[in-house]
């Protein structure tokens, strides 16, 4: 390890020890015997590494995974997915869908309280829905609710919503809407309520305690959580914008959990010194990594240019080199774990000779020095990605090298996550982006790909427009027959893959590691986090005494 890395690791550890209110750490941590059964116990806490500081802690405004990871512990929704990816009640005790599919009635559980002790009622649900539909609220999720014609509170624990027409993802979208407290936000501008957006009050298993920007977010177990108090006293999200430093912290017990890089998983993460202290998990993710083009830039408007770029990149080599084989090549906007995935769509082949021919056919020329030119000017663009994601930085470097082989100069800029979102993505100030999507289980991708979703805080930030895709996305939302929806989304997959608004790169496996003192983890199709409130540390193995 370089002296620089040692200094960075030490500074990160010092930052952790000084976190206020975290409790005293024991000098050594024992690990339970895996051959024994230990009863659940309350106490201890878990410290999780994250490469990015949350952008905001109001879920209606949050569109990044760092924010969502925190808010998912603070807020609750009407429904959620169980371990087998079936929709089950969270705040909703039951629900009923009318025969024509246009009316949904939710019966809420009684006795649910906000973290400030006020009761949660159907009035909060109606208030929250109203905020999503309010055109002045800067949310990327409005399209999920635009088919709603009206809603009503039937009584304190009964809420009904009417749709103008049958809407296939209605139950998923309504069910996954995090509920906001009306008594704290009524009559206020949600976009600017900093006391709530950065110090939220929810109804979930954990209460907000503190947020030290660019350092940590601390949550405390909610003793009145309606599904029972979580076993772990606290959850701490430590912001460490470098995966290598995170791994050092994990090894030095400054972290209890992180998502490993493939190199960490197969390298030091396979050594007995590591596996004696940490459990590793591997499962197929529902996310993919891509290089997205700003289609408003003249250089990327020609589909042939985008095709030639895709032909120039060796995606198989990225899976082998960056992911060390722990993943697969992406072919389009759906991953193999989705029922909407079209197996007939094949990855764009790696063929730099064909790429050169296509560049020439599109009006480009090669100079004597091998540079690709247009109207006598060398072709170049800047590729942006976020700080701290080593896989993306490595991928960007490989893309840079492979495009250099076909005569294109690529500049790489790595930017801190919050700045990356606010100043470049939201404001469309980029040539190309290296990013990833974590997809919902329903394959409705209207908010990402429909041409009406190009606004500043919306998800179609590459400005993609295809009239047939628009029609299909609308039809997919209004079709309930599963086989018909499959055909619709297979066609969507095919069309977007052919248009190449992104170069779809790879689908990485999820590779979390968790300290072995933490029990109750049961891997399932939904991953490992679905039963987080049941994770516990048995008596005698607590790492933190407070």
**Residues 454, 364: Cα–Cα separation, whole Å:** 29
Question: Using the 8-state DSSP alphabet, how is residue 502 labeled?
Answer: E
Gyration radius (Cα) of the chain, Å? 24
Q: Which two tokens stand for residue 418?
A: 């919050």
Give the residues across from 510 on adjacent strands. Answer: 283
Backbone angles phi, psi at 443, to 5 degrees: -80, 15
Query: Quick count: other Cβ atoms within 10 Å of Cβ 472?
Result: 22
Sign of CA dihedral 347, 353, 354, 360: positive
Query: Quick count: other Cβ atoms within 10 Å of Cβ 79?
Result: 19
Averaged over successive runs of 10 residues, the pLDDT of the chain (546 residues) comes to: 33 35 54 95 97 94 92 98 94 95 96 98 98 95 94 98 94 96 97 95 98 96 97 97 93 96 94 95 94 97 98 97 96 95 97 98 96 96 92 95 98 92 93 94 94 93 98 94 96 98 97 97 94 97 84
**Residues 404, 451: Cα–Cα separation, whole Å:** 32
Query: Quick count: other Cβ atoms within 10 Å of Cβ 454?
Result: 17
Q: What is the pLDDT of residue 63?
A: 85
Q: What is the pLDDT of residue 168?
A: 92
Q: Residue ranges of the alpha helices (H) in 18-121? A: 65-74
Task: Determine contact, residues 397/412, Cβ cutoff 8 Å.
Answer: yes
Query: Quick count: other Cβ atoms within 10 Å of Cβ 12?
Result: 22
Residue 302 CB burial class (10 angstroms; 0-12, 13-18, ≥19): middle
Q: Using CA atoms of 83, 84, 85, 86 in order, give the dihedral in degrees to the nearest 10.
A: -110
Angle between helices 3-17 and 243-251 (to 10 degrees): 70
Q: Using CA atoms of 222, 227, 232, 234 in order, give the dihedral in degrees to the nearest 10.
A: -30
Ordered by where they begin, the domains of the chain are 3-53+213-282+511-534 (3.40.190.10), 79-190 (3.90.76.10), 287-509 (3.10.105.10)
Q: The whole model's pTM is what? A: 0.86
**Residues 474, 210: Cα–Cα separation, whole Å:** 42
Closest CA to 250 of 29, 434, 422: 29
Half-sphere exposure of 384 (CA within 13 A, CB side): 18
Q: Which two tokens stand for residue 54?
A: 């949350």
**Residues 100, 84: Cα–Cα separation, whole Å:** 27
Kindly report the length of the chain.
Answer: 546
Closest CA to 19 of 265, 237, 252, 303: 237
Q: Please give the helix or strand (H or E) that residue 497 lies within, else none.
A: helix 482-499
Task: Determine contact, residues 135/71, Cβ cutoff 8 Å.
Answer: no
């Amino acid at each position: 390890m370089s002296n620089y890395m040692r200094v960075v690791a030490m500074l990160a550890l010092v930052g952790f020890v000084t976190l206020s209110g975290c409790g005293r750490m024991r000098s050594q941590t024992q690990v339970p015997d895996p051959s024994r059964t230990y009863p659940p116990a309350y106490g201890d806490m878990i410290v999780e590494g994250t490469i990015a500081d949350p952008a905001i802690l109001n879920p209606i405004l949050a569109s990044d995974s760092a924010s969502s990871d925190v808010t998912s512990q603070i807020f609750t929704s009407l429904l959620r997915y169980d371990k087998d990816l079936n929709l089950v009640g969270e705040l909703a005790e039951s629900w009923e869908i009318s025969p024509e599919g246009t009316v949904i009635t939710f019966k809420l559980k009684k006795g649910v309280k906000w973290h400030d002790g006020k009761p949660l009622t159907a009035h909060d649900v109606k208030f929250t829905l109203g905020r999503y539909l309010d055109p002045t609220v800067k949310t990327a999720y409005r399209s999920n609710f635009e088919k709603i014609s009206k809603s009503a509170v039937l009584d304190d624990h009964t809420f009904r919503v009417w749709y103008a027409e049958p809407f296939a993802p209605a139950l998923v979208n309504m069910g996954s809407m995090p509920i906001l407290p009306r008594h704290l936000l009524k009559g206020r501008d949600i976009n600017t309520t900093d006391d709530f957006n950065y110090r939220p009050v929810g109804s979930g298993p954990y209460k907000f305690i503190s947020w030290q920007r660019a350092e940590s977010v601390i949550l405390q177990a909610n003793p009145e959580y309606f599904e029972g108090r979580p076993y772990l006293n606290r959850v701490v999200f430590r912001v460490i914008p470098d995966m290598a430093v995170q791994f050092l912290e994990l090894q030095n017990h400054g972290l209890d959990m992180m998502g490993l890089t493939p190199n960490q998983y197969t390298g030091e993460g396979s050594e007995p010194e590591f596996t004696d202290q940490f459990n590793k998990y591997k499962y197929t993710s529902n996310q993919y990594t891509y290089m997205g083009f700003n289609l408003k830039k003249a250089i990327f408007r020609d589909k042939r240019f985008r095709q030639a770029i895709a032909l120039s990149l060796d995606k198989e080599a990225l899976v082998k080199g960056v992911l060390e084989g722990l993943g697969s090549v992406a072919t389009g906007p759906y991953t193999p774990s989705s029922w909407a995935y079209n197996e007939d769509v094949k990855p764009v082949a790696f063929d730099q000779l064909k790429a050169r021919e296509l560049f020439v056919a599109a009006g480009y020329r090669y100079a004597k020095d091998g540079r690709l030119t247009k109207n006598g000017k060398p072709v170049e663009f800047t590729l942006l990605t976020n700080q701290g994601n080593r896989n993306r930085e490595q991928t960007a470097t490989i893309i840079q090298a492979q495009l250099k082989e076909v005569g294109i100069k690529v500049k790489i800029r790595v930017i801190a996550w919050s700045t990356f979102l606010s100043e470049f993505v939201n404001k469309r100030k980029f040539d190309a982006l290296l990013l990833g999507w974590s997809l919902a289980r329903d394959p409705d991708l209207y908010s990402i790909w429909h041409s009406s979703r190009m606004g500043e805080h919306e998800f179609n930030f590459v400005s993609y427009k295809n009239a047939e895709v628009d029609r299909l996305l609308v039809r997919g939302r209004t079709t309930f027959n599963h086989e018909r929806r499959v055909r619709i989304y297979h066609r969507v997959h095919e069309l977007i893959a052919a248009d190449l608004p992104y170069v779809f790169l790879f689908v990485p496996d999820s590779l979390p590691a968790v300290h072995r003192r933490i029990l109750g983890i049961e891997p399932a199709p939904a991953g490992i986090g679905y039963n987080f409130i049941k994770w516990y540390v048995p008596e005698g193995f607590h790492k933190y005494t407070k």
